Amino acid sequence: MTTITAKELRDNLNEIAKRVSAGENIRVSYRNRPVFDIKPVTEERAPKKGTMPGLEALLKIPRKPSTLDPNKTIKRIYHEMLDEKYGRK
């Protein structure tokens, strides 16, 4: 694994990005201490272009029909919920 300084990364970001995308792993050091590694993104970690895995999973969850009356105001529904919760009326 190649080691570079944070300054080298800052000054040569375009070149380093190309090297990493070609498959090279690079360790970045700051003040003579290793801080992080830059590794190419694998197909396993990157979602395919044009897909949204989180959204697809969300859409598979069955939906429950609403029990709220569309003719009531939010204020009325809120007060009815409070009445029900605290046993009023």
CATH number, domain containing residue 16: 3.40.1620.10
- Assigned domain for 11 exists: yes
CA distance 9 to 36: 12
Least confident span in 10-14, 34-38, 62-66, 81-85: 62-66
Residues 6+ apart with CB under 8 A from 25: 1, 2, 37, 38, 39, 40
pLDDT (tens digit per residue) in 9-58: 999 999 999 999 999 999 999 999 999 999 998 766 666 666 777 887 88
In this predicted structure, what is the pLDDT of residue 56? 78
In a domain, 52, yes or no: no
State residue 63's pLDDT score. Answer: 87
Number of domains comprising the chain: 1
| 71: region left, alpha or beta (phi > 0 left; psi from -120 to 50 alpha) | alpha
Residue 43 confidence (pLDDT): 60
pTM (2 d.p.): 0.48
Residue 87 covered by a domain? no
Residue 53: predicted pLDDT: 75
Query: Which pLDDT does position 89 carry in this prediction?
Result: 63
For residues 81 and 65, what is the distance between their CA atoms, to the nearest angstrom? 18
In this model, does residue 60 exceed pLDDT 70? yes
- pLDDT score for 52: 74
Asked if residue 14 is part of any domain, the answer here is yes
> What is the domain extent for residue 16?
1-42
